[in-house]
A and B are shown apart, each in its own frame.
Chain A
Amino acid sequence: MFTVIRSKEAVLQALASTVNRDPTASDYRFQDDPYLTPKTSSEFKLFSLSQESGRNAAKYFISTYPKYFQKDYAQPHIPCLMPETLEAQIEEVSEAALIERIQMRKVKAAVDLYDQLQQAGTPVSLDVTNQLLDLICFYGDCDPAQENVPEQRNEETEDVQDEPQTKKGRASKASDKLKAAWKENNNAERIFALLSEPNTHSYSALIRGMVKYGAYSKAFSTYTDLLNNQLKADVSTFNALITAAPEVKEKYNEKWELIVDLLKQMAEQKVKPNLLTLNAVLKALRRCGTVGKSQAFPVISEMRALSIDPSLASYNHLLSIFYKPGAPFQGQTDILQEVMNEVSGKSFTPQDPDDAQFFITAVRICLDTKDIEQAYRVHELLGVGENWRLLGNDFQQNIYHARFFSLLCMMENIDVVLKWYRDLVPSVYYPSSNVMRDLLQALDTDNRLDLIPQIWKDLKQLGHGNRQTLVEELLTLMAREKQNQEVQETFAECALDIKKMYDTGDRGKVMMSWTAGSLSDLVSVLLAAQRRQDAWEILKLFKTHNRVPSEELLDKFLTCIKESGDVNQALELVQISAGFCLPGTPKLIQRVQQEFLLSEQQKSMLSDLEIQTFNSD
């Protein structure tokens, strides 16, 4: 009998593979209800954060009153649903207690206990001391931020030590005087000094901690100590040192020579490099300018020979070496293509924290080089296997989609753009106002201005309805050319809707102010749709908002009035023009006198006006 052994989730996975993403649904975190679906990116963030804070509130209660949550219904036992013990259980001063505190990541408590043990004279084994050193060096001698307590920002403004502050550990409570920088003579160094026979692990912990928290030259001096004690370093120590190499030397050649030196020593000490070594070398080469460009590929091929396959982080560093942001590109466009040839169709697992930068870098390069083909390949790669996990957090996803969509708006015709727009927005991506402006430009290029009212609806929903530049651009686009009748009608509706956005601002919303240009555009749109009454109302707004209408506008208005034949309105128009002391007023008066049938009274009024304007010139 040939029965295939399948995993327990096989059926579910098979079903899941038949369903694609639903472009009409919002993110899985949210409830499927129109009131509860986020419509702007700020709402997205607000809702997911409030859900998270609700969870934290529940966790607080569970950990404060654990006795109500002890009853175990689950078979088999589910450990993550039991209350966490946040306080250390073992109270007496012993090595077991130290191990417990190390596992609970309580840095200060562990250090205090270690000191107590030393004072009591109990010997602590080297393994446990190494674990303690690991703990201290990883967290930089501060306690990691507790999850239930809201993080307070570090208010300390002590002057930074000589090393610049690079990577930040989660430096937590403001009450501590410790910062996210390696302090002189901190606990790690102190405990290390107390060790009689530090081994490779101890040195490794210390060096990696120093590199993580910015004490680069110290790291190198500790390494020399290690060599002087005839010890060998392990692969993570070398990785840390390679990362630190560009910081301690100035010139590109020297940096590279130092790295090569370290690699040679690695070979001498028979330490096998791993993927993180490759990534560290490539990352360091980013800081090495032209040397980086020449050495990158040889490094990769050597590592390949040692059967270390590059991960997405390696490709990310490679692309960053060759495509510096802001630099002109000459003859390098094929590198992206080669990289994409390498990675297409493969599913990657997270192996390095920098893996998440790959997609953003790749799409930035596509945007800068205006390469839509490669952009499609990058996007396709996202759909392969588990690669979607490597897109990063919400912020990075936003950047990725913004760049991708801007590139599409620039390069593709409007139908393709709209297809992607409907696919991505707003289920995956909430565009910013800049990207929406790119979309408007794309509409303009392809002469699809009739879609503007729909885009305006989307803009309002996305919360960009009160951005002045965007709205003014909309009005200008609508007013520029005359469209056919139905489109003009929709434009007029849209324009009146826009006017509402200017009028009443809700509490807290940014108020927009009318400019002469926007008011004129509004009037032109309404006139083109034969809405004279509405346009007349808007014309009065010029006075209230202290803006001056242009002569062409009043001319156009007069033509419109002439079609309807309303003499009084024509006269009022002339009076308005005189009120603004426009230089075109005499011409207007002449037009009215010629084109309209005037009564005696009106004629005399006009001639008075004419004299008035003539005198004021």
Chain B
Amino acid sequence: MATSLVRQTKLLSIVTSQLSSAACFRNIHCTAACLKNRAARIRVAKGDKPVTYEQAYHPHHIGHRKGWLSQHTSNLQGEDGAAERVVEDVFIRRFMYGTFHGCLADEIVIKRRGNLLVICAVMIQKLLPSKFYFLIGYTEELLSHFYKCPVKIEMQTVEEKVVYKYL
């Protein structure tokens, strides 16, 4: 019994050494597939789905037909903190989506100027202005205390979601 096991492990080591030789490079995939050709793209469908400008253009249009949704300097040479900024951005987007529920007309743009965090949002005129101001005061105060930096909200309102085309 022991000898057969030894023989099998020897077989396995021969196989793996052959695998890692220059001839073949297929390795084991342990994470989920991140399909770069399916991210942030709304596929063309029947023609009744309204889509905003931001959603209509695909990620390879960023810098050409679209701007950046998150503006900070950590992606420059020699700057660090990019990963932290990404995590903060994700949190802020979810926070805004939940706090101003149903009011967001489009994606939020986050700008960082020095210490200041500016959240630019376009809202639908769904709530009364006084309710908007309540939520603005609440968000600014809470996020400032959370991230230990001044947070400002710049808001613009539209009557309804601006549709660019129908896909």
Q: Enumerate chain A interface residues (CB-CB to B < 8 A).
A: 30-33, 35-36, 38, 43, 46-48, 50-55, 57-59, 61-62, 68-69, 72-74, 78, 81-83
Contacts and interface: CB of A to CB of B under 8 A. Distances in A.
A52 B134 CA distance: 7
B155 A31 contact: yes
B148 A73 contact: yes
Contacts of B149: 73-74, 78, 81
A73 B147 contact: yes
B154 A31 contact: yes
A147 to B, nearest CB: 12
A5 B28 CA distance: 63
A409 to B, nearest CB: 31
Contacts of B135: 54
B63 interface: no
Nearest to B125: A35
Contacts of A54: 133-139, 141
B4 interface: no
B142 interface: yes
Given A33-B155, A50-B133, A54-B138, A72 B145 contact: no
B133 A47 contact: yes
B100 interface: no
A87 B154 CA distance: 35
A33 B157 contact: yes
Interface of B: 125, 129-142, 144-149, 153-157
Contacts of A33: 155-157
Nearest to A58: B141
Contacts, number: 83
B146 A68 contact: yes
The 3 A-B pairs with the shortest beta carbon distances in the complex, nearest first, are A54-B137, A58-B141, A54-B138
10 contacts: A33-B155, A36-B133, A47-B130, A50-B137, A51-B136, A55-B140, A57-B138, A69-B146, A74-B148, A83-B145
B89 to A, nearest CB: 15
A52 to B, nearest CB: 6
Contacts of B137: 50-55, 57-58
B145 A62 contact: yes
Given A33-B156, A58-B142, A50 B148 contact: no
Given A35-B157, A78-B148, A61 B142 contact: yes
B138 A58 contact: yes
A47 B128 CA distance: 10
A50 B131 contact: yes
Most buried by A among B125, B141, B156: B141
Given A31-B154, A31-B155, A51 B145 contact: no
Nearest to A48: B133
A35 B129 contact: yes
B115 to A, nearest CB: 8
A59 B141 contact: yes
Nearest to A54: B137
Most buried by A among B136, B142, B145: B145
Nearest to A59: B141
A43 B133 CA distance: 12
Contacts of A52: 137
A47 B129 CA distance: 7
Contacts of B146: 68-69
B141 A31 contact: no
Contacts of A36: 129, 132-133, 155, 157
A51 B148 contact: no
Contacts of B157: 33, 35-36
B133 A81 contact: no
Contacts of B142: 58, 61-62
A58 B144 CA distance: 10
Contacts of A43: 129
B155 to A, nearest CB: 5
Nearest to A66: B145
A330 to B, nearest CB: 51
A59 B137 CA distance: 10
Contacts of A58: 137-142, 145
A36 B140 CA distance: 17
Given A36-B157, A58-B145, A51 B125 contact: no
A51 B130 CA distance: 8
B78 to A, nearest CB: 18
A259 to B, nearest CB: 47
A53 B145 CA distance: 16
A77 B82 CA distance: 22
Contacts of B138: 54-55, 57-58
A61 B138 CA distance: 10
Given A30-B133, A54-B133, A81-B145, 5 more contacts: A36-B129, A50-B134, A58-B141, A81-B149, A83-B145
Contact of B141 (A48, A55, A82): A55
A39 to B, nearest CB: 10
Contact of A46 (B130, B139, B141, B145): B130
Nearest to A31: B155
A562 B119 CA distance: 68
A10 B156 CA distance: 32
A59 B146 CA distance: 11
Most buried by A among B134, B135, B139: B134
Nearest to B156: A33
Contacts of B132: 31, 36
A81 B142 CA distance: 10
Contact of A50 (B130, B144, B147): B130
A58 B135 CA distance: 10
